[in-house]
């Protein structure tokens, strides 16, 4: 017997009798013997609970605990204690997709709240129930631009997007038949004009941590008959201009900054929102409000005619499972934070990152390639020493920072979790390093 399997010998016999089979093997008589598994799996033997715990403790001991001063798509923000407490409630954790609305009002209500909050942050009209992560949300937005403009096939992506986002865009473009053009001169590329232009993807905050200005871009993109997509950090949208304010048609990004632990990169959740004009082209699930047979307010999955289980090859996307529980995670986060909490997170990040930025420059070992440009928590510097050695020296001292970029800069990130003492210690290491 095994803890998760309740079948006793007696049960098995009774069930086989009902079926009219001599043995369990008879149930597999239709599986050709040529490829029946003969000698079992070459895998470890069953472990007890404590053995499994010991295995994971052993793994954990081979990771180095570091103080994180890096971002680049994954940010070390604070997780309020309430969140894991709520998300681990088994009514949420072990539930299926809420197709049976009558017994899924909990899931449906929090998704409706999430959709509302994503709309509040981005300023957009409609948000879906979540995507896998930010980069895949960007890739789906790229496909959506093509779908919305019909026969057009070219999407321009800013080369200032995070490297991880560009890599996923390239993979999708190459294999989904989209002509992806990467450039840092977006305005010129749009002005040059191509009849084939379907969309333009730009970051709200770019790979250098700089808040970008998109003044006039939406008008130019719309004049060219294309859609504007903005990739944003939802946490920062509490202070930076929203995609709606810039005139974007689609907003995407990663909700990891809304209180999710780093967890070696996942799970997190992507989000996707658009103006109501494109609502029916939006991929993924949507929750809508309605009433039940007795007139009570309730919620259902709606506009499902866009989705794979109804439309098959004509669906707006193949997405099925998304990141529902992580959407709950950030919905609880945003409920706890409210407008004031989110403002304070940004203020703490701003104060901390500028303190570290200035202190590092003051060591005389860096220059600032983007002097005067506004940043909130992440910034890059040009090191005046070997960047690889710098990162290693920091690692040896217990810090993960000075991430080397493709351009030869080093990037740092300071969230509200970093203390003055930690920053001073990092600066001291930089100062004293014999590099």
Partner 1 sequence: MRYYDRLIFELSRKGRIGFSLPACDADPVKAETAKGVTGIWRESPLDLPEVSEPDVVRHYTNLSQMNFGVDTGFYPLGSCTMKYNPKLNEEVLQSFLGLHPLQPESTAGGAEELLSFMKKALCEICGMKGFTLQPCAGAHGELTGLMLIREYHRSRGDEARCKVIIPDSAHGTNPASAAACGFEVVEVKSRPDGLVDIDALRPLLGPDIAGMMMTNPNTLGLFEKDILEIASLVHGCGGLMYYDGANLNPLLGIARPGDMGFDVMHVNLHKTFSTPHGGGGPGSGPVGVSEKLLPYLDKLKVSGFHGNFGVIARACAYILSLGREHLAEAGTFATLSANYIKESLKDCYRLPIDSVCKHEFVFDGLAGGGGDVTTLDVAKRLLDYGFHAPTIYFPLLFHQAIMIEPTETESKETLDAFIEVMRSIAHEASREPEVLRTAPHNTPVSRPDETAAARQPVLKYEFR
* Residues in region 182-241 near partner 1 by CB under 8 A: 211-213, 215, 237-241
Q: Does the protein bind partner 1 through residue 264 (CB under 8 A)?
A: yes
Q: Are 208 and 370 in contact (CB under 8 A)?
A: yes
- Interface mask toward partner 1 for 116-155; x: CB under 8 A: xx-xxx-x--xx-xx-xxxxx------x------------
Which position among 232, 255, 326, 381 is part of the footprint of partner 1 (CB under 8 A)?
A: 326
Q: Does the protein bind partner 1 through residue 364 (CB under 8 A)?
A: no
Q: Does the protein bind partner 1 through residue 180 (CB under 8 A)?
A: no
Cα–Cα distance for residue pair 303/313, rounded to 1 Å: 17
Q: Are 229 and 285 in contact (CB under 8 A)?
A: no
DSSP string, 293-326: TTS-EEEEE--GGGSHHHHGGGSS----S--HHH
Q: Does the protein bind partner 1 through residue 414 (CB under 8 A)?
A: no
Provide, rounded to whole angstroms, the least separation between the CB of residue 138 and partner 1.
10
Query: How many residues of this chain interact with partner 1, rule: CB under 8 A?
Result: 199
CB closer to partner 1 out of 40 and 364:
40
For residue 223, give Cα distances in angstroms to 55, 242, 276: 59, 21, 19
For residue 432, give Cα distances in angstroms to 69, 364, 390: 18, 12, 11
Provide, rounded to whole angstroms, the least separation between the CB of residue 373 and partner 1.
8
CB closer to partner 1 out of 197 and 269:
269
Q: Does the protein bind partner 1 through residue 262 (CB under 8 A)?
A: yes
CB closer to partner 1 out of 73 and 383:
73
Provide, rounded to whole angstroms, the least separation between the CB of residue 69 and partner 1.
10
Provide, rounded to whole angstroms, the least separation between the CB of residue 218 and partner 1.
14
Q: Does the protein bind partner 1 through residue 277 (CB under 8 A)?
A: no
* Distant-in-sequence contacts of 214-218, Cβ < 8 A, 24+ apart: 214/246, 214/248, 216/187, 217/186, 217/187, 217/190, 217/246, 217/247, 218/246, 218/247, 218/248
Q: Does the protein bind partner 1 through residue 318 (CB under 8 A)?
A: yes
Cα–Cα distance for residue pair 202/340, rounded to 1 Å: 28
């Amino acid at each position: 017997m095994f803890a998760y399997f309740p079948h006793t010998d007696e049960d098995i016999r009774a069930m086989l009798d009902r079926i009219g089979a001599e043995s369990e093997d008879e149930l597999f008589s239709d599986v050709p013997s040529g490829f029946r598994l003969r000698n079992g799996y070459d895998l470890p033997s069953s472990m007890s609970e404590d053995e499994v715990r010991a295995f994971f403790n052993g793994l954990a001991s081979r990771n180095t605990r570091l103080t994180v001063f890096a971002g680049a798509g994954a940010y070390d923000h604070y997780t309020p204690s309430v969140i894991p407490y709520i998300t681990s409630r088994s009514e949420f954790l072990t539930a299926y997709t809420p197709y049976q609305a009558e017994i899924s009002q909990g899931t449906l209500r929090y998704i409706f709240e999430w959709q509302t909050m994503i709309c509040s942050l981005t300023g957009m009209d409609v948000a879906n129930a979540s995507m896998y992560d930010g980069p895949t949300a960007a890739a789906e937005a790229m496909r959506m631009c093509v779908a919305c403009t019909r026969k057009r096939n070219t999407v321009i992506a800013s080369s200032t997007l995070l490297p991880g986002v560009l890599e996923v865009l390239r993979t999708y473009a190459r294999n989904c038949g989209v002509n992806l053009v990467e450039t840092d001169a977006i305005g010129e590329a749009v002005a040059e004009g191509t009849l084939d232009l379907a969309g333009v993807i730009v970051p709200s905050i770019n790979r250098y941590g700089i808040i970008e200005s998109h003044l006039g871009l939406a008008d130019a993109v719309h004049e060219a008959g294309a859609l504007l997509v903005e990739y944003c950090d939802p946490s920062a949208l509490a202070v930076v201009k929203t995609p709606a304010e810039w005139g974007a048609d689609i907003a995407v990004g990663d909700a990891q900054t809304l209180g999710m632990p780093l967890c070696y990169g996942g799970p997190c959740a992507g989000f996707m929102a658009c103006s109501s004009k494109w609502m029916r082209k939006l991929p993924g699930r949507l929750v809508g409000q309605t009433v039940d047979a007795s007139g009570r307010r309730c919620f259902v999955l709606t506009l499902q005619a866009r989705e794979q289980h109804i439309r098959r090859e004509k669906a707006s996307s193949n997405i099925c499972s998304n990141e529902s529980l992580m959407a709950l995670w950030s919905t609880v986060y945003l409920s706890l934070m409210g407008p004031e909490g989110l403002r304070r997170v940004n203020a703490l990040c701003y104060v901390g990152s500028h303190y570290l930025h200035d202190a590092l420059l003051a060591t005389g070992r860096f220059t600032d390639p983007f002097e005067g440009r506004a940043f909130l928590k992440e910034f890059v510097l040009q090191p005046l020493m070997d960047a690889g050695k710098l990162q290693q020296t920091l690692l040896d001292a217990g810090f993960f920072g000075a991430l080397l970029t493709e351009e030869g800069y080093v990037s740092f990130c300071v969230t509200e979790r970093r203390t003055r003492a930690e920053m001073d210690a990092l600066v001291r290491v930089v100062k004293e390093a014999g590099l």
